[in-house]
């Protein structure tokens, strides 16, 4: 089922704010924070509903403070956030009327999604909810013989395919609840499709029609049809009605950005973990540095993309200190250099040896990651640079061709200090941003 230029035009209008904001927080949180071995623990350890029940009985996040989460996200320079309202284990952080398997029936005793939305909106951040299309708790979801269900090897969990429609009624009903009972949502982040479990298997056309009737502005990812492994028809010039508003590459930044088959850029967002797991994993201390996060955010923007950076709060509801420290340092950098991120996009120039370019409103931002020998070469920009300044403090930089570079007629050169042919240390070793005003 193809669409026309009007559908792509509507997608462009819906995603305008998304392409301006560029940086968001992903939050994976649920019962799996108690075993603390990752959000897939039920599947990877093939735990039955009964095996998993103690975590429901114990769930009591006494330190859950979404206001603190929201402040951390805002200080990090993030503009929106997405929380797991329901992950694959089927446990709901919201007060669904369609199940008893929810936070309101645990020791928490309250609707944790409602509190998240209130706190993040109060900080001026846009809000989204993640909702798993699959459900390992629901008795009508395929189990025995499924590729990933915890009971995939247990014949006692053989399902009658005729009952799958009951699950779809449940799933559609919960999406309706989220879009009806919680005010304006900016993003709906579905996860995930696999094998034949995709597209109309979810009654996707019907689901999208219902969602658009309730909240026509909401932007939806591509995973009703695609997955982390492949993108679906959003990558074509004729996307289906359920192709989504943005692509969602996972744990990778696409080498060339994301375009459709005609070469036109499409909205995309790389979802990336801060360590190696989405849900809280106590033994995982492999955190990415603030420098890495800064440079990867820049890489996404330099390819017309967004970065959705994940945190996994612990069983008590606390974002790990390591994560908060990284976010704080990223926020310090963005406070000084945000003009080179928000609303920026790819430059027509080739990637430079020393870093990356982003551009906006006729300005070119040179993100210098590597110290150079002598001046920084701006390849192909001879006679095109009107002025250069250090974005972080507004100080003037020197644009000229020192004697050692006179043979490079096509290139401009910028230096941090005099003499221009000397090697000068980068003012910010993580990413020194030079704002270039072009002629």
Q: Which 8-state DSSP code applies to residue 347?
A: -
pLDDT at 2 over 70: no
Q: Is 292 exposed, middle or buried (0-12, 13-18, 19+ CB in 10 A)?
A: middle
List the structure tokens of 319: 């974002």
Mean pLDDT across 104-109? 98
pLDDT over 50 at 367, yes or no: yes
By the 10 Å C-beta count (0-12 exposed, 13-18 middle, 19+ buried), 264 is classed as exposed
Average pLDDT value for the chain: 97
Q: List, for residues 120-163, the tens digit of each pLDDT value.
A: 999 999 999 999 999 999 999 999 999 999 999 999 999 999 99
- Is it true that 5-340 and 355-438 share their CATH fold? no
What's the rounded Cα separation, in Å, for the pair 286 and 356?
Answer: 26
The pLDDT-based confidence of 172 (bands split at 50, 70, 90) is very high
Domain regions of the chain by residue span: 5-340, 355-438
- At the second CATH level, the architecture of 355-438 is Sandwich (2.60)
> Is the separation of the CB atoms in 212 and 243 below 8 Å?
no
Strands (E), 137-236: 187-191, 219-220
Which homologous superfamily is 5-340 in?
A: Glycosidases (3.20.20.80)
Relative to beta strand 376-378, strand 187-191 is: unpaired
User: b/e per residue, 142-169, with b = 16+ CB within 10 A?
Assistant: bbeebebbbbeeeeebebeeeeeeebbe
| Confidence grade of residue 227 (pLDDT, cut at 50, 70, 90) | confident
CB atoms within 10 A of CB 331: 18
Write out pLDDT tens, residues 76-98.
999 999 999 999 999 999 999 99
């Amino acid at each position: 089922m193809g669409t026309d230029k009007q559908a792509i035009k509507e997608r462009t209008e819906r995603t305008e704010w998304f392409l301006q904001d560029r940086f968001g927080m992903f939050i994976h949180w649920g019962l799996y924070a108690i075993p603390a071995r990752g959000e897939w623990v039920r599947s990877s350890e093939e735990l039955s509903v009964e095996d998993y029940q103690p975590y429901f009985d114990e769930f009591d996040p006494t330190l859950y403070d979404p206001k603190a989460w929201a402040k951390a996200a805002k200080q990090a320079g993030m503009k929106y956030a997405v929380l797991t309202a329901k992950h694959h284990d089927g446990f709901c952080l919201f007060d669904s009327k369609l199940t008893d398997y929810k936070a309101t029936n645990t020791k928490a005793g309250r609707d944790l999604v409602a509190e998240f939305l209130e706190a993040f909106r109060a900080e001026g951040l846009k809000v989204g909810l993640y909702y798993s299309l699959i459900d390992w708790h629901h008795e009508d979801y395929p189990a025995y013989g499924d590729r990933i269900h915890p009971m995939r090897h247990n014949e006692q969990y053989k399902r009658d395919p005729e009952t799958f429609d009951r699950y779809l009624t449940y799933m559609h009903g919960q999406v309706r609840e989220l879009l009806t009972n919680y005010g304006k949502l900016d993003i709906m982040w579905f996860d995930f499709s696999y094998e034949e479990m995709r597209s109309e298997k979810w009654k996707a056309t019907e689901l999208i029609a219902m969602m658009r009737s309730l909240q026509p502005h909401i932007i939806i990812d591509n995973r009703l049809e695609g997955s982390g492994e492949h993108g679906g028809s959003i990558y074509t010039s004729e996307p289906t009605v359920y192709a989504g508003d943005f692509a969602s590459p996972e744990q990778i930044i696409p080498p060339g950005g994301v375009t459709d088959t005609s070469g036109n850029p499409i909205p995309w967002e790389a979802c990336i973990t801060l360590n190696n797991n989405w849900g809280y994993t106590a033994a995982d201390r492999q955190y990415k540095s603030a420098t890495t996060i800064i440079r990867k955010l820049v890489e996404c923007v330099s390819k017309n993309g967004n970065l959705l950076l994940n945190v996994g709060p612990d069983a008590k509801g606390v974002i790990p200190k390591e994560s908060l420290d990284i976010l704080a340092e990223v926020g310090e950098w963005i406070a000084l250099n945000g003009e080179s991120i928000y609303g920026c996009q790819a430059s027509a120039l080739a990637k430079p040896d020393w870093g990356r370019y982003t551009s906006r409103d006729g300005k070119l931002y040179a993100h210098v990651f590597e110290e150079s020998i002598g001046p920084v070469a701006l390849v192909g920009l001879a006679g095109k640079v009107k002025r250069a300044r250090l974005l972080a403090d507004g100080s003037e930089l020197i644009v000229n061709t020192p004697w050692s570079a006179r043979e490079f007629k096509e290139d401009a050169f910028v230096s941090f200090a005099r003499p221009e042919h000397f090697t000068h240390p980068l003012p910010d070793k993580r990413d020194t941003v030079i704002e270039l005003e072009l002629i």
